[in-house]
Chains A and B, each alone.
Chain A
Amino acid sequence: MIGKLRSVRLALAAAAFIGLGLPQAHAAKDSLVVDLVNEPSSLDPQVQWNPDSYYVYRNIFDNLVTRDDKGAIVPQVATSWRQISDTEIEFDLRGDIVFHDGSKLTADDVVFSVKRITDRAFASPQLGQFDKIVDAAALSPTKVKLVTAGPYPALLAQLVKLSIVPKAVVEAVGKDAFNLKPIGSGPYKFEAWQRGVQVTLTRNDAYWGTKGPFPSVVFRAVPDGATRLANLQAGSSDLIVTIDADQAAQLKNAPRAKALIGLTERVAYLRLNTTKPPFDNPKARLAAAHAIDKAGLIEGILGGHDKPVPELLTPAIFGWVDGIQAPAYDLAKAKALLAEIGPAAKAEIDLATAPVFDQRIVQAVQQMMTDAGFNVKIAMSDMASYLRRAQAGPEATSLLSFGRWSCACQDADGVLFPLLHKSSGWSAYRNPKVDTLLEEARATLDANKRLAAYKQVHEIVATDVPVVPLYQAVVIYGAAKNLEFTPTPNESMFINRMSWKD
């Protein structure tokens, strides 16, 4: 494992060398400008869960472990780790990491970071990702032990998101001040936050790993997608987030911009409420699965970049099983199934969605289901109302809802459990067999056992259709022609993995 990792790091360092080694490339780009949708809500890595903040603070902080561009878990602060028992895991830490204020990163800082985020009184929105960790202890300045409540197979996947904050600084300045002036150990240092305007980071020239290619990086908030695209085309920004395939197509002939497209762990799905008509009838659910032309959605609307999936996961997630057979697109069969059901099939179905989702997909789904004989009405509400209703349980939630799921952990436990298990607000499905399988897969560290359990879940989903998995979503960035950057499955944006070619 370690040998492989070392070669990865060497490759990264080599790539950085090529990018940085040329002096004119260095001089040509002093500052990278990134257009986000909103400004970060906060730069303290432990008090929010918000993509625009994540893009920024992940460059300021190092995490215990991280993922490479392909999605494999690789060392960052921890160099290696071993499972001591079902509930204990030990990490060896790098000894040469220095925070931006000059102090050394030690095991105490790791323990402090774990305890801070798992402290209920701290009220971190991320608590749920780490609350299986019941204890953390420093065994030496470079060795840490974590204890979980029972076997917890997704632990490493969750630790990818654990940023290490400096204990001494946080304790000295307090939570509010740290939020205003965060200090980490990452490849970029926090420089300034002109609230509402931009966040500026400068390169950490003393960074232990791959150094950033740009002396400074500016993150701006540009809420309107059309404006972000115009900014890129006018050359006032170098990288923009959140554009769709049609906008990406506009960049095809652009003189100084291009689209960067990468498949992600995110899975798009339709969730059916299996407790109410018409979807309390398995035939109606099967009809819905046959009614949706996934390839048509992808080729027709999404520019052909996304990939249809037969199961409620994507190949970027642990738990993906090849060869699952999902109901294929077959309009005649869908109609026939609905005819068998009779008038009950005509019950009005509300399709819940929010403005952030791609309305073209939602409307196309409505059209496809209408063609099959369903009676579907779109119910759009703002995101807060959508989330509240989506998690209200089978009694109160909508009959049908469109969503795009990412647990940012690339583990089936973060997808299947919340969407199917009866204990979760998101689930509108009641199947004791599935519940048991999900609990089993969560309670063992044996990867093969877990895969076997998830395979059974996928098969049940394919035949009983509590959800219709649609496609593996892509993430699309707009970038300046000269910017080299590989989108990752977990949609992270590490500046020190980018390069600039003149």
Chain B
Amino acid sequence: MPGFLLRRLGQAGVTILGVVTLIFFVQRLTGDPTYLLVPETATQADIDALRTALGFDRPLFVQYLDFLAELLRFDLGQSVVQRVPVTTIIASRMPYTLMLAAGALVVACGIGIPIGVLLALYRETLLAKFAAGLVLSAQSMPTFWSGILMILVFSVLLGWLPPSSTGGFSNLIMPSVALGLLSMATFARITRAALLDELSKDYARTARSRGVGTGRMLFRHLARNASIPLITVAALEISNLLAGAVIVETVFAWPGLGQVTVQAILARDFMIVQGVVLLGAFVTVFLNLLSDILYSVVDPRIVLEKAR
């Protein structure tokens, strides 16, 4: 077990270094932010002067080493556009990202899992078919379309919910639904597959033949075993939600990390992009590790060595 953990940690380190390096160089293929920072009337000399002052005239490799050195000191650097530390920016956006991810997860699990159960146990009923259609429909609409329709109906027409931005719980509802609808189908699908898998196993068949009710069985046995694949998916979905909510955040003016990162990409504000991607990589790697460990807790049959 310690050997396995060490190896996994080593792999995680390599992965994160790879992420950082890739993002560093790919971004810098697109030039630097100086043209975006200066007024139209700036001369080439002004632009060059600013570039030098910001350090973008140095050889790429020097900048890269500099960046790595800063990272080792746990310094993510400063945004050249906003001129504040990247950590300040990430820290201010983080609560909103977490809120939105949590809200979306609640929507996705709250609807997706019951529908998955429905699909596994009562596959042929009309209700199940309707539910399946609903789940798939929700996944088939671009969020920038469903988002603005929701705003127009629930805010402009009915006046029930605030149209955008933050403020209270009511502001969180529409973005959570818009984002949650996307992963709902994934949860339904996995739940259904996992349940069917368990149902076909001997213990479930025996229990059934003994006349144990479906409901009881569901809570006694199936839930525990079927939750394993669900944990994995949830882990993957969380990391997707963290920075993947770009469009939902843009439409609802929700100040999460996704929005600030897209703006930073377009503004060539490299340090912010690097910081967010690095954080995302950490979270992904950590969650993967955690889900491996959780596996073995939920299901002692799984030995950690086996995982990859």
Contact = CB atoms under 8 A, between A and B. Distances in A.
B254 to A, nearest CB: 9
A120 B263 CA distance: 28
Given A127-B46, A227-B163, A231-B163, A387 B93 contact: no
Interface stretch (B78-86, B126-134, B291-299): B78-86
A48 B148 contact: no
A196 interface: yes
Contacts of A47: 83
A384 interface: yes
Contact of A409 (B41, B84, B92, B259): B41
Nearest to A404: B40
B165 A179 contact: no
A186 interface: no
B183 to A, nearest CB: 22
B82 A129 contact: no
B39 A129 contact: yes
Interface in A404-453: 405-409, 414, 417-418, 423-426
Given A128-B41, A195-B92, A407-B40, A234 B33 contact: no
B53 A121 contact: yes
B92 A128 contact: no
B156 interface: yes
Interface in B24-81: 30-31, 33, 35-44, 46-47, 49-50, 53-54, 81
A129 B41 contact: yes
B187 interface: no
B260 interface: yes
Contacts of A388: 31, 35
B100 to A, nearest CB: 12
Interface stretch (B197-205, B233-241, B245-253): B245-253
Contact of B164 (A41, A231, A384): A231
A179 B81 CA distance: 12
B83 A49 contact: no
A405 B47 CA distance: 18
B162 interface: yes
A126 B42 CA distance: 8
Contacts of B163: 227, 230-231, 234, 236
B46 A131 contact: yes
A42 interface: yes
Given A121-B53, A196-B93, A227 B151 contact: yes
A230 B31 contact: no
Interface string A215-250: 000001111101100110110100000000000000
Interface residues of A, number: 58
A194 B89 CA distance: 10
A382 interface: yes
Interface string A373-398: 00000000011110110010000000
B148 A222 contact: no
Given A123-B50, A236-B163, A227 B39 contact: no
A385 B267 CA distance: 10
Contacts of A426: 40
B229 interface: no
B57 to A, nearest CB: 12
Interface in A191-218: 194-198
Contact of A41 (B54, B82, B88, B165): B82
B155 interface: yes
B44 A230 contact: no
B96 interface: yes
Contact of A384 (B36, B89, B166): B36
Most chain A beta-carbon neighbours within 10 Å: one of B39, B50, B148, B260: B39
Given A126-B39, A385-B31, A196 B81 contact: no
A339 interface: no
Given A38-B263, A125-B38, A131-B46, A223 B155 contact: no
Contact of A197 (B42, B166, B251): B166
Contacts of A224: 144, 148, 250-251, 253
Interface of A: 35, 38, 41-42, 44, 47-50, 120-121, 123, 125-129, 131, 175-176, 179-180, 194-198, 220-224, 226-227, 230-231, 233-234, 236, 382-385, 387-388, 391, 405-409, 414, 417-418, 423-426
27 contacts: A41-B83, A42-B81, A42-B82, A47-B83, A48-B83, A123-B54, A127-B46, A127-B49, A129-B39, A180-B84, A196-B89, A196-B93, A196-B255, A197-B96, A221-B255, A227-B151, A230-B163, A234-B162, A236-B165, A384-B30, A384-B266, A391-B47, A408-B39, A417-B41, A423-B43, A424-B43, A425-B47
Among all A-B residue pairs, the 10 with the closest Cβ atoms: A123-B53, A196-B255, A128-B46, A195-B92, A387-B35, A128-B42, A222-B253, A125-B37, A234-B155, A234-B163
Given A195-B89, A409-B41, 20 more contacts: A42-B81, A47-B83, A125-B39, A127-B42, A127-B50, A197-B255, A222-B165, A223-B250, A223-B253, A223-B259, A223-B263, A224-B148, A226-B251, A227-B151, A230-B152, A234-B159, A384-B30, A384-B267, A407-B40, A408-B39
